Amino acid sequence: MSKLENRIPPPLVLLFVGVAMWVTARATPRLILPPSVHLAASAAVAALGLAFAALGVAAFRRARTTINPVDIEAASSLVVTGVFKLSRNPMYLGMTTLLLAWALYLRAPWATIGPLAFALFIRRFQILPEERVMHEKFGAAYDEYRRRVGRWL
């Protein structure tokens, strides 16, 4: 299983899970909601997800460190400012939130398994390996950051 660590770019996982959610929604019963309700809810949640992801990318760019999650060894600095004061993984939180918005848009209860599956996969095969590398590269500074800021929120 460790062969999957840091191998599949999270945006590809996001896309795969999103398609699986769409297929699930087409094959299972949907909730009947007024369009204004499910569209407004999904748009609000999507905006939140996009904000977390974009703020995370912007913080990495300001710090001039890599946003490439497959090449974590290239990380050149520990980013602890901005949205990283709220979450150690705002981009993954943003992606998970976008999948939740997609589930709301689809109105398919079974599709809500998608964000959970994404979060579990990303935690195991992306976040945990990244945390090992960050500890190796930044030592006590990273350990202190981990004590202050939650993995997701």
- Supply the DSSP string of 96-148, one letter for each residue: HHHHHHHHHHHT-GGGGHHHHHHHHHHIIIIIHHHHHHHHHHHHHHHHHHHHH
Any domain includes 97: yes
**So what's the pLDDT on residue 19?**
98
6 located within any domain: no
The answer to the question of residue 21 being in a domain is: no
Q: How many domains are contained in the chain?
A: 1
So what's the pLDDT on residue 1?
58
Asked whether residue 105 is assigned to any structural domain, the reply reads yes
Q: What is the pLDDT of residue 131?
A: 96
Per-10-residue mean pLDDT, the chain, length 153: 87 98 97 93 98 97 92 91 97 98 97 98 97 96 98 96
Please check whether residue 56 lies inside any domain of the structure. yes
CA distance linking residue 78 with residue 44, whole number of Å: 30
Tell whether 23 is covered by a domain. no
Quote the domain boundaries for residue 106. 34-148
DSSP state, 88?
S
Is residue 131 one of the residues assigned to a domain? yes
Tell me, what's the pLDDT at 141? Answer: 97
**pLDDT at position 72:** 85
> Is residue 70 included in any domain, yes or no?
yes
Which among 87, 63, 85, 84 is positioned nearest to 74, based on CA atoms?
A: 63
